Chains A and B, each alone.
Chain A
């Protein structure tokens, strides 16, 4: 019991929680942009996988982590274009096209990995960077100020996304298109264009989420690297009420449970890990059930827009 409450353990758990929240933050906030404009993108997991592969492959062959990140961003953008084409221009059922995109991303990343790399290897990715002065603060310094750039980026994304959505005209356009596309259309807003933009932005962020896994947090690529994290990210958008700060708390909750479970194992304290892993999913369903009346989803979510048909 003393060991659980020891300072070093708590510091360790919080440090891990912050690290592990990174992919959820990128992917979740990206999905929030997409959903705020009315498009559900279930393909996030597949986008993360193919982008993670791209980033890993580039770093493995060039050693340049920034090139790797650029590759992930580019691949994420391409997948976003594909999703936009199918769901916005071709007005397909968004839930299913998202699953198709997921299957495609999963299969393609696995195919490419097995044929071009073959076995699991590690690379030197984004390393942890100690922020001078701040990281020397006892306890808080260790928890918050000794992470890699992608981790810092994920948390800086929270206020940045909030600002874009709440304080810029672009954010206003995105939200209006998600709430009442017909009205936005009559005011001269190009609904499809705004949706293309937010879906692609969401996909780019999902791509960065994938890169955060393969060239920062884990520094490796394996088959199905994400193991469903993309789907969790989509759930986090609901959990967080489509607000970046809510998504952040949801992501931290998930990753904290995960980190806690890891540390308990290391300390030799037996908790049934299967139940511990189940907890975040149970929590999400509970949250979904509880919050649905209090939180408003974008009214036009999951409805393709056709001028004159609505």
Chain B
């Protein structure tokens, strides 16, 4: 009896929703790109780097009429992201960018069901042997090295703190490069690393950063969208310096951020678009490097960097580009 009433209620709901407007059909020529990210597009780090790249490519191609961008932000729970990836694919998007190393499993599952859709995911180098999956990553260790060189020259307490999220992917490689950069200047400087275990938990980052500062660190660095917490702790202290990665973080603490490694994905996106047009839907890997302008070091004009440090940084950049210095990920 009760179930019957419920079924009636459900049928009514289905009737109502069947009257809901159908999904809009896009004109054939427009390129439709979907982006799934683990944090907000304004996170000044990982997600923002990809979103701004897509927007830049869209502008170059002629704006909204030429390329449609739809995004899902704050997808830090993998099952949610998996549903989003599958949804965009089934809605007929041309390119689905799954921007997060934890999304690999989902891409592996969904890509098989939608062979005509191009999937791009990172940061990783695994295309699962599928012809419609591109994989991308960044050689974050290179920028890490440069930041490390500068950090070593700027620290007065000879103690540097690193607040990492999870010890995987570009977070790990960035920090490994950073440690090598520090060691190349002065092997006696103490670099202590902490891992919060989460990409998204900013509060944990804050606590970790505060503990580093209390233990004597006067320079901090770290990776992921949760570094806002570490930068906040540096700001509260007032004198602790920050080195950023993934996006230009100068605006977060204009007098404390020394430099940031910036990811520029736009070249890669343009390549994927043209490859897809030519018929290759996937199967290749991309790596951002200093050499191919995928990685850049952005010096914060608001911080008075000593000429000595700047020169050392520029020399290191040139050396890495030429291959004289090899940074191990």
Contact = CB atoms under 8 A, between A and B. Distances in A.
- The judgment on whether A and B are partners is yes
Given A12-B214, A225-B203, A263-B215, A122 B235 contact: yes
7 contacts: A12-B214, A15-B214, A16-B207, A119-B42, A222-B202, A222-B203, A266-B211
B272 interface: no
Contacts of B42: 118-119
Interface in B192-216: 192-195, 197, 200-203, 206-208, 210-212, 214-215
A12 B215 contact: yes
B203 A122 contact: no
Contacts of A121: 228
A267 B192 contact: yes
Contacts, number: 82
Chain A, interface residues (CB within 8 Å), range = 20 to 34
Contacts of A222: 200-203
Contacts of B212: 266
Contacts of B43: 119-120
Interface residues of B, number: 32
Nearest to B210: A16
A127 to B, nearest CB: 8
B229 A218 contact: yes
Contacts of B192: 266-268
Interface in A97-134: 114, 118-122, 124, 127
Given A9-B215, A122-B228, 13 more contacts: A12-B211, A12-B214, A16-B207, A119-B40, A122-B231, A124-B236, A213-B203, A220-B203, A220-B228, A223-B74, A225-B203, A265-B208, A266-B212
Contact of A114 (B74, B200, B229): B74
A12 B217 CA distance: 13
A273 interface: yes
B283 interface: no
Which of B193, B232, B235: most chain A Cβ within 10 A? B232
B211 A120 contact: no
A114 to B, nearest CB: 7
A267 B40 CA distance: 32
A42 to B, nearest CB: 22
A187 interface: no
B222 interface: no
Contacts of B225: 120
B217 to A, nearest CB: 8
B161 interface: yes
Interface in B98-128: none
Contacts of B44: 119
B134 to A, nearest CB: 28
Contacts of B206: 218-220
Given A119-B43, A122-B235, A265-B208, A220 B229 contact: yes
